[in-house]
Amino acid sequence: MIIQHFLYCHIRNSLAIGCLLLALTGQAFANETKILVLGDSISAAYGMSLEQGWVTKLAVYLKERDAGIQVVNASISGETTAGGLRRLPLLLQENQPSMVIIELGANDGLRGYPLNTLYDHLKRLVEMAQQAGAKVILLPMEIPPNYGTRYTSGFRESFRQVALETDCTLAPFILDGVATNPALMQGDGIHPTVEAQPLLLDNVLPTVIAVLDKS
C-alpha cells in the first residue's frame, strides 16, 4: 500500500508538472511576436542569398538581443501592390503577425501604373493588416525622375497620404544614401549590393524598434 501510494503521488506530480510545462510552452508560442515583411526584390535580396539581405539581418539583430521576435520574409522579386493584395490574406492567416512591414510600390511605378491604383492598393494592404490586429510600417519608395515631375511627386505623395489616412507608421526611404551611390548599387542601377544591406537595415531599424516599443 505504501509503495502504491508513493507511485500514485509520483505519477500525479509528474503529470501536474508536465501539464504546467505544456501550458507555459503553449503560452510562449501564443505570445511570440512575429514581424511579416511583404516586399519586392529590395526585401527579397535580389542578386544575393537571402541570408545576406536586410530582412535576415533584422532577424539576426533581434535574435541576438533575445527579443523573442520571429521575422517572416514573404517578399518576392517583381512583386506589385496587386500581387501583395492577392497574397496577404493567407499570409496573415498563417502567421498572425504583430507587425507587418510593407515594402511595395516600386514595380508599380516603374511600369507606369496609375497613381490612383497605387494609392488604393497601398491603403487596402495597410487596412487589411490593421484589421488582422497588426501594427503596420509602410516603407515609401522612389522612382527615377525620368517619369516626369508630376508622376514622380504623385508617386511619393501616395505613400505619405496612405500613412496619414490609415495612421500607420511611415518609415524613411529604405534606399536613402544608397540609391544615389553607384558603388552601393548593382549593375542594373536598381538593386542594392550586398555591401549596402547593413545600410538598408540602418534606415529601417529605428522605426521598427519605435513601433515595437509602443506595442
Known catalytic residues are: 41, 188, 191
103 φ/ψ angles, rounded to the nearest 5 degrees: -125, 75
Contact partners, residue 141, CB within 8 Å, separation at least 6:
103, 104, 105, 106, 109, 155, 159, 173, 174
Q: CA of 209: how far to CAs of 30, 99, 144, 213, in Å?
A: 21, 11, 30, 6
Question: What beta strand segments (E) does the chain contain?
Answer: 33-39, 69-73, 99-103, 135-138, 169-170
Contact partners, residue 55, CB within 8 Å, separation at least 6:
37, 39, 43, 45, 71, 73, 75
37, 74 contact by CB (below 8 A): yes
Distance CA 138, CA 38 (A): 10
